[in-house]
Amino acid sequence: MRALVKDRAGPGLRLCEVPTPTPAAGEVLVRVLRAGVCGTDLHIYRWDAWAARTVRLPLVPGHEFVGEVVATAAGTGGLLAGQTVSAEGHLVCGDCRNCRAAAPHLCPRTRGLGILRDGVFADYAVLPATAIWQHRPGVDLDTAALFDPFGNAVHAAHTFPLRDKVVAITGAGPVGLMTIPVARHFGARAVVVVEPSPHRRRLAECQGATITCPDSADLAGALRDLGRCDGFDVGMEMSGHPMALTELLAHMSHGGRVVVLGLPDRPVPTDWADISLRMLTVQGVSGRRIFDTWHQVTALLDAGIRPAAVITHHFPADDYATAFEVATSTMAGKVMLVWSTEPRTGGRT
């Protein structure tokens, strides 16, 4: 089968012919149909400091996908060949205090699919049955491939009550973009989006942003336009840019609540006296609640939210180099690699 392999410490990936993996007990073999390029994959592609200290080589990256079950081993429950599936990319231990207390999203032994275990940038992938999410028959393939990053957006937007709140989102990458309609659906009065790329600001406006601005220093102007000079009720940092977090904190109202999902590549100095005196709440959010968020995603799709609107490009898997180049640029929303154009054998019943 074809697989995109990271086999040396340095930039790039290689499309190789490798043996198709065999599922062990408790695992399923999935034919990958489409797979999204995530910021995590770009870190691995570029081979930055985070990737160099985290990833063990060789590795097949990729974790956002939709595929079709083609084989199951023993101990895989009711999973059957032909089912259309994705997988929770945070593979948890199932045995620690948090896993056993029904909070597996807080598992300290979480292993990332496509980071510490071979992922889905391949014609086939082997996945633990416990991580599989089974889609409803006939699900739209682009939407299904977005359950993982859309789940990030939904988990972040679900962290604090948003009804009638004035919300700021810093960063309009795919997750930031997908958060906008969810925040509106949850009742946010206004959603202000900070994003330097004009192309992504246009996408944010299409997603329902009330005001977009190119720089986090413009947040004060946005507040003035909204008649809310005291600050934002809820902030969501989704860019990973250190200055964005600092500016966002500075523009929160007293008692404001901040979700931190973006990952700065270096420590960000924080004025903790200011956090204390203004009584701010800061909540880190990573991944999704397993599998509560996946059910919420389904409910939001039924409510008419269309996350696939953030997909701007599809590339055949063979054209991966262009796909990664485009995903790195600020012109793209979500970039999708198409691994198979053959129709599904099941799923449309």
Q: Which helix (H) or strand (E) holds 31?
A: strand 27-37
Task: Select 107 or 139, whichever has its Cβ closest to Zn ion.
Answer: 107
Task: Select 38 or 145, whichever has its Cβ closest to Zn ion.
Answer: 38
* Omega prior to 58 cis, within 30 of 0: yes
Amino acid at 204: A
Half-sphere exposure of 331 (CA within 13 A, CB side): 7
Amino acid at 269: P
* Count, residues near Zn ion per rule CB under 5 A: 8
Binding window for Zn ion (CB under 5 A); candidates: 33-41, 49-57, 124-132, 315-323: 33-41
By CB under 5 A, residue 38 contacts Zn ion: yes
Among 96, 103, 220, 226, binds Zn ion (CB under 5 A): 96
Binding window for Zn ion (CB under 5 A); candidates: 100-108, 183-191, 203-211, 283-291: 100-108
Site string for Zn ion, 60-79 (x = CB under 5 A): ----x---------------
In 3-state terms, what secondary structure has residue 254? strand
Among 99, 120, 223, 332, binds Zn ion (CB under 5 A): 99
Compute the least distance from the CB of residue 95 to Zn ion, in Å. 6
Whose tokens are 């988990």? That residue is 155
> Of 20, 40, 281, 293, which one is the catalytic site residue?
40
Q: How far is CA 133 from the centre of its chain?
A: 15
By CB under 5 A, residue 321 contacts Zn ion: no
Q: How far is CA 23 from CA 1, 117, 171, in A?
A: 15, 14, 39
Please confirm, yes or no, whether 40 is among the known catalytic residues: yes
Among 3, 32, 59, 107, binds Zn ion (CB under 5 A): 107
Binding window for Zn ion (CB under 5 A); candidates: 102-110, 162-170, 201-209, 286-294: 102-110
d(CA 134, CA 156): 23
Task: Select 96 or 206, whichever has its Cβ closest to Zn ion.
Answer: 96
Compute the least distance from the CB of residue 189 to Zn ion, in Å. 30
Instruction: Of 264, 266, 259, 267, give the one whose Cα is nearest residue 285.
Output: 259
Compute the least distance from the CB of residue 104 to Zn ion, in Å. 6
d(CA 2, CA 197): 34
d(CA 254, CA 273): 13
By CB under 5 A, residue 93 contacts Zn ion: yes
d(CA 176, CA 305): 15
Compute the least distance from the CB of residue 91 to Zn ion, in Å. 10
d(CA 62, CA 33): 13
Residues that bind Zn ion (CB under 5 A): 38, 64, 92-93, 96, 99, 107, 109
Annotated catalytic sites, by residue? 40, 43
